[in-house]
Amino acid sequence: MDMLIFKLEKNSKKPLYEQLYMGMKDAIITKQIEVGTKLPSKRKLADFLNISQTTVEIAYGQLLAEGYIASKPRIGFFVEEIDELPFVENKQAKIKVETVLKGTEPYQYNFHPGKIDTESFPFAIWRKYAKDLFDFPSKEYLQVGEPQGEYELRLEIANYLYQSRGIICNPEQIVIGSGTEHLLPMILRLIETNSKIALENPGYSAIPRIHLTNKAVPIAVDEDGLVVDELENTDANIVYITPSHQFPTGAVLSAARRTHLLNWAAKAANRYIIEDDYDSEFRYIGKPIPALQGMDQNEKVIYLSTFTKSLMPSLRVAYFVLPPALLKSYQEIFSYYSATVPRFDQHILANFMKDGHFSKHLNRMRKIYRKKHDRLTNTLTSFYPTTSITGDHAGMHILISVPLDKSENDLKQIANKSGIAVYPVSDYLLRPIEYEQPTFLLGFGGVALDDVEPAIHKLMNCWGIKRSHKKGKSHEL
Ligand SMILES: Cc1ncc(COP(=O)(O)O)c(C=O)c1O
């Protein structure tokens, strides 16, 4: 073989052997070196390229391992026949790289209900726990953990649930997984035998998408929460419900409906209530609403919650609490599955909770969200009675209804064109409901406090809603 000139850059970050290997591989693929050609000896090539023999040896070794060349003992190395790859005109056309502008928010103001405040996360503390964990003493966490999740985290969750939600459970009843969306199918698999699931209408839109919509029974929601009478008249045996703060209306399930619902569940062995307590940490008026699970005497409530609102959606940590009677079937079905949350993340969170940082964080965030909530509702009251608010005093979103003669979709488009994202309630309906006025969800978690007022003014302005002369009562602290 004539000596091919390989351009080797001695100062490159890429090691010389890799440059040589790549150059030769390319030459073989493109047939610049023909099949059957004998390669120069390692010494000769090393001398010619003015590099060490070891460099050539590693490059040849790699080509040999990948089958580009073959070795004939005591004779040398020969170029192998390589099947041609399909012709690709332009290397860059192989993979279409779409330029995704990372982190660019298309809207000036985004009222998405799933957004949280990102200004107040205790990064330094979280980093300290992460740093402490990623060290040799934690080497055991390199192995796969318990399917239900790390015991230490389940213990912290059990303590937290007892203190803040009145739930008595032990860590053995808790299952940790990477989000409500992954846990719900597990719960359904556990209790679902020819089951029909009832869902709140309007309700959390992820649920019907996760579940087979055709099997779901929509149940109306009013100012007292789920209409249990309506549930009684269906053949559903499982109900998914957000009793502490109905998503998205914000209604709290009344005491009468709570007992009614628990009694409904107690009437048949295959009836269950899935209680989603997704944002109960944030209540700005009165006492926290106790969990339904705490009232249940018949092991009918499967309690489900998440750290998505209370800490961050990207952590992907949620959990459910099983009634003891379901533990055996859980273990039979799911002991072969590994936990879906990395062990290190689970321990960071467990240590963060154990040292009291989670409660401190919640107290801080409650104040921040309360301020945003108050700023939002106060700003909106200057458009009162034109714009009405429901579902306030809790969580991270409210509902507003506007007296306009346009469809929700048209109004959404108008807002979007003005750089504001709002979310029509019709996006959360399983069965259509005729609302008297167009109604929207306004999530305030991700809007900066000082942006709340200008955002609402801009929104009302683009919709042509004027400020009313009467000022509503202010309750900003
Ligand atoms: C009603 C409801 N449940 C649960 C969640 C959280 O889901 P995940 O744990 O999958 O993040 C949300 C998030 O917005 C929600 O609105």
pLDDT range class, residue 30, cuts 50, 70, 90: confident
Best substitution site from 278, 349, 397 to test ligand 1's pocket, by max atoms within 8 Å of Cβ? Answer: 278
Q: From the CA of 317, give the closest atom in ligand 1.
A: 9
Q: What is the mean pLDDT of residues 58-83?
A: 91
296 and 394 together in one domain? no
Dihedral angle computed from the Cα positions of residues 69, 72, 75 and 80, in that order, rounded to the nearest 10 degrees: -30
Domain-located, residue 166: yes
- Lowest-pLDDT range, 121-125, 229-233, 466-470? 466-470
pLDDT 10s digits, 37-60: 999 999 999 998 899 999 999 999
Which of 472, 447, 385, 395 shows the shortest CA–CA distance to 107? 447
- The domain that holds 452 is classified in CATH as 3.90.1150.10
Same domain, 296 and 270: yes
* pLDDT (0 to 100) of residue 90: 59
Residue 318 CB less than 6 A away from ligand 1? yes
* CB 294 less than 6 A from any atom of ligand 1: no
- Centre of ligand 1 from the C-alpha of residue 204, in Å: 8
Q: What is the pLDDT of residue 268?
A: 95
What number does the ligand 1 atom closest to the CA of 308 have?
A: 11
Q: Is residue 469 part of a domain?
A: no
Q: Say if residue 138 is in the same domain as residue 10.
A: no
**Nearest-atom index, ligand 1, CA of 114:** 14
Q: Which amino acid is at 383?
A: F
Q: How far is CA 164 from the centre of its chain?
A: 24
Q: Do residue 329 and residue 378 come from a single domain?
A: no
Phi, psi of 409 (to 5 degrees): -65, -40
Taking the centre of ligand 1 as the mean of its atom positions, its distance from the CA of residue 58, in whole angstroms, is 53
Model confidence at 477, in pLDDT bands (50, 70, 90)?
A: very low
Domain hosting residue 372, numbered range: 362-463
| Helical (H) or strand (E) element with 35 | none
Which secondary-structure segment (H or E) carries 276?
strand 272-276
Q: Count of domains in the chain?
A: 3
pLDDT greater than 70 at residue 292: yes
The pLDDT score that the predictor gives to residue 102 is 57
pLDDT in tens, 202-227: 999 877 777 655 678 999 999 999 99
Q: Which two tokens stand for residue 131?
A: 């740093």
pLDDT category of residue 289 using cuts at 50, 70 and 90: confident
Per-residue pLDDT, 126: 98
Distance 472 CA to ligand 1 centre (A): 32
Q: Specify the pLDDT at position 105.
A: 76
Please check the confidence at residue 94 and state whether its pLDDT lies above 60. no
Q: Is the pLDDT score of 301 beyond 90?
A: yes
Looking at residue 474, its pLDDT comes to: 44
Do 49 and 147 lie in one domain? The reply is no
pLDDT at residue 88, rounded to an integer: 57
Distance between CA atoms of residues 30 and 433, nearest Å = 65
Instruction: Give the Å distance between the CA of 423 and the centre of ligand 1.
Output: 16
- For 391-400, the pLDDT digits (tens) are 989 999 999 9
44 and 154 fall within a common domain = no
| For the CA of 318, the nearest atom of ligand 1 | 9
pLDDT at residue 475, as a whole number: 45
- The residue to mutate among 157, 181, 247, having the most atoms of ligand 1 within 8 angstroms of its beta carbon, is 247
More confident residue, 194 or 237: 237
* Domain contains 104: no
Q: Report how far ligand 1's centroid is from the alpha carbon of 271 (Å).
A: 23
Q: Is residue 156 part of a domain?
A: yes
Quick check: is 383 in a domain?
Answer: yes
Signed CA dihedral, 432, 433, 436, 441: sign only = negative
* Same-domain pairing of 380 and 243: no
Task: Give the CATH number of the domain where residue 342 resides.
Answer: 3.40.640.10
Of the three residues 97, 113, 138, the one that is the final residue of a domain is 97
359, 380, 414 — which closes off a domain?
Answer: 359
User: Is the pLDDT confidence value at 93 over 70?
Assistant: no
Q: Is the pLDDT of residue 259 over 90?
A: yes
**What pLDDT digit, counting tens, does each position of 10-21 carry?**
888 889 999 999
Cα 461–chain centre separation = 33
Evaluate whether residue 117 is within a structural domain.
Answer: no
For residues 3 and 251, give the distance between their C-alpha atoms in angstroms, rounded to a whole number.
Answer: 80
Do 152 and 257 belong together in one domain? yes
User: 239 in a domain, yes or no?
Assistant: yes
Give a yes or no: residue 476 inside a domain. no
The answer to whether residues 64 and 93 belong to one domain is: yes
With H, G, I as helix, E, B as strand and everything else as coil, classify residue 377: helix
Q: Are residues 224 and 163 in the same domain?
A: yes
pLDDT higher than threshold 70 for residue 36: yes
Contact 261, 239 (CB under 8 A): yes
Question: Average pLDDT of 323-337?
Answer: 93
Ligand 1 atom nearest residue 276's Cα: 3
Predicted pLDDT of residue 158: 98
Closest protein CA for atom 7 of ligand 1: 180
Q: How far is CA 189 from the centre of its chain?
A: 21
pLDDT in tens, 401-447: 999 999 999 999 999 999 999 999 999 998 889 889 999 999 999 99
CB atoms within 10 A of CB 402: 20
Same domain, 82 and 172: no
Question: Which domain-ending residue is among 97, 131, 164?
Answer: 97
Tell me how far apart the alpha carbons of residues 116 and 365 are, in angstroms, rounded to a whole number.
Answer: 10
> Same domain, yes or no, for 350 and 224?
yes
Q: What is the pLDDT of residue 354?
A: 98
Q: Give me ligand 1 centre to Cα 154, in Å.
A: 19
pLDDT of residue 4: 65
DSSP secondary structure string, 288-319? PPPPGGGG-SSS-EEEEEESTTTT-GGG--EE
Binding site membership of 247 for ligand 1 (Cβ less than 6 Å): yes
- Find the CATH number of the domain harbouring 32: 1.10.10.10
- State the pLDDT confidence band at 470, using cuts at 50, 70 and 90: low
**DSSP tag of 119:** S
Tell me the pLDDT of the chain averaged across its residues. 91
Average pLDDT over residues 177-187: 93
Ligand 1 centroid, distance to 308 Cα (angstroms): 7
